[in-house]
Amino acid sequence: MNIQDLLLKDVMIMDLQATTKEGAVDEMIAKYQAAGVITDATLYRKDILAREAQSSTGIGEGIAMPHAKDSAVQRATVLFAKSQNGVEYDALDGQPVYLFFMIAAPEGANNTHLQALAGLSSLLIKPQLVADLKQAQTPDDVQALFAKAQAAKDAEDAQEAAKEAAQTAVATDDTKPFIVAVTACPTGIAHTYMAEAALKETAAKMGIDIKVETNGSEGVKHRLTADDINRATGVIIAADKKVEMPRFDGKHLLNRPVIDGIKKPQELIQKTLDSEGTIFHATEAATGQEADADKKSLWSRVYQDLMNGVSNMLPFVVGGGILMAISFLLEQTVGAHSTTFIFLNSLGNNAFNFLIPVLAAYIAISIGDRPALMPGFVGGYMASQATASVLSSKSPAGFLGGLAAGFIAGWVIVGLKKAFKNLPQTLDGLKPILIFPVLGLLIVGFIMFFMVNPIFAQINLWLSTFLTHLGAGNALLLGALLGGMMSVDMGGPFNKAAYTFAIGVFTTTKDGSLMAAVMAGGMVPPLAIAVAATLFKNKFTGSERKQAFANYVLGLSFITEGAIPFAATDPLHVIISSVIGSAIGGGLTQLWGITVPAPHGGIFVAPLANHGLLFVLAVLIGTFVSALILGLWRPVAKEI
């Protein structure tokens, strides 16, 4: 595929007007949508921002490469945009961005597309090309510059291929330094191949042989063989996602973000030659996550581990909860002894029985990797059972105990790895099959039996009693608080805290009142934005109105994240209005005594509520209050 097939002239922006990062993203997405490259601007923007949240795609030297691969993209395209004054884009070097390359790849992009995107990305490490692009005046100039750069690269690749062929025909020169590397980024479109190109080009200048494996969208390319790894002086991992690590056992290894492969290739290569990388042990850190974790804040690490548990638990919550709710609905017509009721109810209950063990297991595995899975799972199971302990109780430790079990199991395994790191190499094989399972289970079980279960069983019992005797005023306040939290960050820590609290109460008491509050609160933000864009058209751009329409469906389905693109570009007006509407919706569900015996589904599970019409009314009132505040408060939009 020719580069001109990707760099389409009709989607270039030669004078980008935006002055902020969000504005630049929106301006480029609007161009894509107008050209028919994408069909769902909301989905594409969400994925662009999700990639930015992992690390800025402003790679420095005045360049940014925002990119996403999803079903909204109709054809592989690269949008070139140039800003005259520069945009503050949170670039890694802290400097303004002047050149933008927004890459759009279809979800089912074929290898031809992906190879072309990889080739295009690798050209951008050429300083002369970057300098020339800053002077380009027309789309034709841009295409001509890339065509010239591609021709030069093709000639270099041909020379390199001839050189490799010649080397295979003669004996390998073992005296020449040789290192291996792996590059990978979450989407595998741009940074993966830019890091590869930078490492190879720098190694050639330093007189070093290097082989780079890429873990990109088209799969693993140039896979490192066992012989490659054995011959290498050391290993460079320039990656922002998991790569296959156990094969590097015993090698000096540097584990860095993919951007370091682009910006600091000489430093990485020199440190590898000097054997500055730590010796990697596969049984101690299968993915190098422990080293990376030191760079994160405590809250970031805890939140990441917690979300790993919650995300893996949710399918059990949704599947089991909705089937149980349907069974209760059918019970009124077919009876409690019918086969249909018994089947659906028992199936839902069986799924629910795994909630806490799965939650604990996947929190543990996020911290201590695979050895923590079993003790985490067993600890979670212990938390879900009302077993005898030093403080006998009829109540299990429940959801809170499961959270504790996950974190305890993960850190117990981390501690065991450190305690046995100096075990003789001949005994290393005992760690995963004997030491970690037996000692891990023993320690976690001891802590759960003698400390966690007794304490959290009492807390759980108190919580159940408190909710049972909760007065109407307190219930309204709690419902408003949980509903409002669902809109504070729309899928972030506050949202998840409110939702997981409601799930915890639901699994313990089988009372769906707080589920009604969080569901109403979570439905309001996207619905309010959709209604506001319909009623106050002058407050939204044409592109925003199109995006907002999709929020009718997202809001009705209890997908709060549909509001994120609007909150990102206008946080003050959107978040405050959403929190007010969500708090009202959540409070009304408690005022009217509404319970929803299903953990997800939005409007589609309203018939399962004890007061389905009142639930819908609570959502509508919250929605229209929020929409009116947003529509009246927000300034008139300026079309780009």
- In this prediction, residue 521 has a pLDDT band, given cuts at 50, 70 and 90, of very high
Active site residues: 67, 185
Answer left, alpha or beta for residue 250, where phi above 0 means left and psi between -120 and 50 means alpha.
Answer: left
The two three-digit tokens of residue 41, written as one number: 């601007």
Please write down the HEC assignment for all residues of 418-483: HHCCCCCHHHCCHHHHHHHHHHHHHHHHHHHHHHHHHHHHHHHHHHHHHHHCCCHHHHHHHHHHHH
Nearest alpha carbon to residue 104 among 187, 196, 197, 16: 187
Looking at per-residue confidence, does 171 or 476 come out higher? 476
Query: What is the per-residue pLDDT for 287?
Result: 41
Tell whether the model's pLDDT for residue 12 goes beyond 90.
yes
Please give the C-alpha separations between residue 566 and each of 458, 492, 549, 578, in angstroms, as whole numbers: 43, 15, 12, 11
Please give the C-alpha separations between residue 545 and each of 40, 395, 627, in angstroms, as whole numbers: 12, 51, 14
What are the DSSP calls for 557-576, one per residue? TT-GGGGHHHHHHSHHHHHH
Tell whether the model's pLDDT for residue 209 goes beyond 80.
yes
Unique residue bearing structure tokens 């609290």: 501
Query: What is the per-residue pLDDT for 292?
Result: 46
End-to-end CA distance of the chain: 33
- Within 10 Å of residue 332's Cβ, how many Cβ atoms? 9
Domain boundaries, the chain: 3-152, 173-283, 299-468, 472-633
Longest CA–CA separation in the chain, Å: 86
Query: What is the per-residue pLDDT for 640?
Result: 42
CB 308 within 8 A of CB 363: yes
- In this prediction, residue 415 has a pLDDT band, given cuts at 50, 70 and 90, of very high
Buried b (16+ CB within 10 A) or exposed e, 556-583: bbbbbbbbbbbbbbbeebbbebbbbbbb
Tell whether the model's pLDDT for residue 266 goes beyond 80.
yes
What span, in angstroms and rounded, lies between the C-alpha atoms of 516 and 606? Answer: 9
What span, in angstroms and rounded, lies between the C-alpha atoms of 269 and 267? Answer: 6
Query: What is the per-residue pLDDT for 569?
Result: 66
CA 249, 252, 255 angle in degrees (round to 5)?
90
Tell whether the model's pLDDT for residue 374 goes beyond 80.
yes
Tell whether the model's pLDDT for residue 462 goes beyond 90.
no
CB 409 within 8 A of CB 465: no
pLDDT over 70, % of the chain: 80
Query: What is the per-residue pLDDT for 2?
Result: 62
Query: Which of the residue ranges 127-141, 347-361, 514-528, 567-581 has the most confident prediction, judged by mean pLDDT?
Result: 514-528
Residue-averaged pLDDT of the chain:
81
Query: What is the per-residue pLDDT for 360?
Result: 92
What's the fold here for domain 173-283?
Rossmann fold (3.40.50)
What span, in angstroms and rounded, lies between the C-alpha atoms of 96 and 87? Answer: 5
Parallel/antiparallel/unpaired status of strands 235-239 and 252-256: parallel
Query: What is the per-residue pLDDT for 496?
Result: 67
| Contacts by 161-165, CB closer than 8 A, 24 or more apart | none
Residue 625 DSSP SS3 = helix
CB 570 within 8 A of CB 529: no
Query: What is the per-residue pLDDT for 333?
Result: 80
Residues 6+ apart with CB under 8 A from 60: 91, 92, 93, 95, 263
For CA atoms 499, 501, 502, 506, the dihedral sign is positive
DSSP structural state of residue 13: B
Tell whether the model's pLDDT for residue 586 goes beyond 90.
yes
What span, in angstroms and rounded, lies between the C-alpha atoms of 196 and 217? Answer: 14
For CA atoms 73, 79, 85, 91, the dihedral sign is positive
Tell whether the model's pLDDT for residue 553 goes beyond 60.
yes
Answer left, alpha or beta for residue 61, where phi above 0 means left and psi between -120 and 50 means alpha.
Answer: left
What are the DSSP calls for 372-391, one per residue? GHHHHHHHHHHHHS----SS
- In this prediction, residue 218 has a pLDDT band, given cuts at 50, 70 and 90, of low
Tell whether the model's pLDDT for residue 512 goes beyond 80.
yes
- Stretch 522-546: mean pLDDT, rounded? 89
Instruction: Just give the CATH number of 3-152.
Output: 3.40.930.10
